[in-house]
Amino acid sequence: MKILFVSDNYHPADPPFNGDSQRTRLLYEACKRFAQVDVISFAGQPNQAKYPGKLKKWIALLPFKSVASLCPIDACKEAVVDKAVRDGEYDYIVTRYFFRAVLCGLWKYRDRLVVDCDDALPFFFLNQISPSSALTSRVRLNWAALKMRLHTRHIVRQLHASFFANEDTAKKSRIVFLPNIPFYMDSCRDADMNAPVKRILFVGQLEYWPNEEGLSHFLEHIYKPLRERLTRVEMRVVGLVKDEALRQYWQSFPEVMVMGFVEDLKQEYEQSHVVVVPIYRCGGTNIKLLEAMALNRACVTTAEAYGKMNGRFVAGKDLCVADNDQQFVDMLLTLLTDEKKNQSIAHHGKSVMEQYYSFDAFCEIVQSAIVKK
């Protein structure tokens, strides 16, 4: 069996450096277990897709006629893919993210196309909305997201196979649920609660708007009030940051260090006491939440992020879930001062991860969906 693996943003064989690239690598490795896999990667290449005609992006307001009406095609990438498909005699084509598949010209091969959609399709548009977005952009993007919500089931059922990382979304669309799993399963020892300074850790791709938004909100409305009650606390922020102004803003908070990319991520978890995932809008299971639990660290997250979990985690037992900022502060204070509670949450979360989120289980789902029996 031959598979063509097309990746628009990362080369799947390269060392992963964030949650997105980790899932790409995991999907690639899963395919290699049962097929010969060739790769086309457009990593580092600019997007040359253009909306046709004068309507440009406003075409999203028109009645839904085709996928192409919502996402243009990059003709250069399409030509590369078309040549490979003609020459390679591939049984299946595998890629990540639905709109990246369309952009690369893969929709025409949908009868043998496998797409790891990951997030619900409307989030492709919703995640482009920021507080600075103009009203016209908000209208256009919200309308496009509504159209995708209405047409998702029809679209994904035309594919050979597709995956969502959120179980509820997968059920509604009647497609395969492929959970996020942590890339690093090498556990850490218990947090050293005797340390004179307690450390909070945030890990995330900071070019991704929900992460940027969540971190800023956390520092302003949760970290500051926490330090008024617990002064001997510090925070480390791990993840690529290109916006120097944002870096300086985050580091303006007391004892906050923005680390950027780090070579040894496990060491950051090892030296932390609590991991926070302050995400207020998300389309799928947050991989960093799963990673932190796999590495034996107590986590605090939002009700929004918890709602995208897969139903196997118990709030208050496996992780802490805050409905508001004050609860977030209170939960952090407890986990940073109560060793018994901290270790109980960490151990229970790790136990669930070991039971349900192995790479073998991930591979079995991928193979069963592609090689339908």
Half-sphere exposure of 257 (CA within 13 A, CB side): 11
Half-sphere exposure of 92 (CA within 13 A, CB side): 24
Q: What is the pLDDT of residues 121-151, one digit of tens each?
A: 887 788 778 777 888 888 888 888 888 888 8
CB atoms under 10 Å from CB of 286, counted, come to 27
For residues 269 and 319, what is the distance between their CA atoms, to the nearest angstrom? 16
Question: Which amino acid is residue 206, in one-letter code?
Answer: L
| Domains of the chain and any CATH numbers | 2-178+359-370 (3.40.50), 198-356 (3.40.50.2000)
CB atoms under 10 Å from CB of 334, counted, come to 16
Q: What is the pLDDT of residues 92-108, one digit of tens each?
A: 999 999 989 999 999 99
For residues 113 and 370, what is the distance between their CA atoms, to the nearest angstrom? 9
Determine the pLDDT at residue 185.
66
Q: What is the pLDDT of residues 226-235, one digit of tens each?
A: 999 999 999 9
Higher confidence at residue 251 or residue 264? 251
Angle at 123 between CA 165 and CA 146, to 5 degrees: 120
Half-sphere exposure of 117 (CA within 13 A, CB side): 30
- Indicate the Cα dihedral angle 246, 252, 254, 259, nearest 10°: 40
Enumerate the H helices of the chain as residue ranges. 19-32, 75-88, 98-103, 123-126, 135-156, 167-173, 209-218, 224-229, 244-251, 265-270, 287-294, 303-306, 325-337, 339-356, 359-370
For residues 216 and 323, what is the distance between their CA atoms, to the nearest angstrom? 17
Q: What is the pLDDT of residues 52-83, one digit of tens each?
A: 555 556 666 666 667 766 778 899 999 999 99
Mean pLDDT, residues 338-351: 96
For residues 24 and 9, what is the distance between their CA atoms, to the nearest angstrom? 10
% of the chain at pLDDT higher than 90: 58
3-state DSSP helix/strand/coil % of the chain, to nearest 5:
45, 15, 40
Higher confidence at residue 174 or residue 161? 161
